[in-house]
Amino acid sequence: MSTTEPSPTLRTATFTCVRCGLTVSALDPDGRGRDHCPSCLSSRHTVDRVDGGASDCGGRMVPISIAVPRSGAWVLIHRCTRCDELAEAAVAADDNHLVLMRIAVRPLADPPFPLDLFGEV
Ligand SMILES: [Zn+2]
Ligand SMILES: [Zn+2]
């Protein structure tokens, strides 16, 4: 929960998803700034995480993985389809649960080693 009140312009601001075209409010239900589409979880490369500040890339960022830091809250890992930069984004309360689960179980669905090994330990 954020204690700082978002500015009125940010509260009503929207952006259009670069992938599915959904009109997305710039704030999530908890009042935090949103950087990805809650429906398809795609994002746009507008922040330079390496050098800091704004990025002029503007490429589409696709969700490739879920990370779970010590805080326990899921973090979405995005990769830019244009410049390959990686970025992390906090998962919002209304992000598409089905898409999140699909990304989370993807490594388990196709492991690089046989899973039946676990039956022998
Ligand atoms: Zn979308
Ligand atoms: Zn990029």
Work out how many domains the chain is built from and give that number.
1
- Tokens representing residue 84 in the block: 């390959």
Distance (Å) from CA 41 to ligand 1 centroid: 6
Residue 91 within a domain: yes
Which tens digits make up the pLDDT trace of 36-91?
Answer: 999 999 999 998 877 788 899 999 999 999 999 998 899 999 999 999 999 999 99
Ligand nearest 37 Cα, by number?
1
Which ligand number lies closest to the CA of residue 48? Answer: 2
- Label residue 4 by pLDDT band (50, 70, 90): low
Is the pLDDT at 121 greater than 80? The verdict is no
Residue 117 scores a pLDDT above 60:
yes
Q: What is the rounded distance in angstroms from the CA atom of residue 35 to the CA atom of residue 47?
A: 10
Decide if 44 is inside a domain: yes
Long-range Cβ contacts of 55-60 (<8 Å, 24+ apart): 55/85, 57/82, 57/83, 57/85, 58/82, 59/83, 60/18, 60/19
Give the contacts of 102 (CB within 8 A, at least 6 positions apart): none
In a domain, 87, yes or no: yes
Ligand 2 mean position to 47 CA, how many Å? 9
Range of the domain at 22: 8-107
Q: Domain for residue 112, yes or no?
A: no
Of 1-10, 13-22, 29-38, 59-68, give the lowest mean pLDDT range: 1-10
pLDDT at 10 (0 to 100): 65
Ligand number, closest to the Cα atom of 46:
2
Q: Which amino acid is at 23?
A: T
CA of 40, nearest ligand number: 1
Round the average pLDDT of the chain to a whole number and report it: 89
Residue 120: inside a domain: no
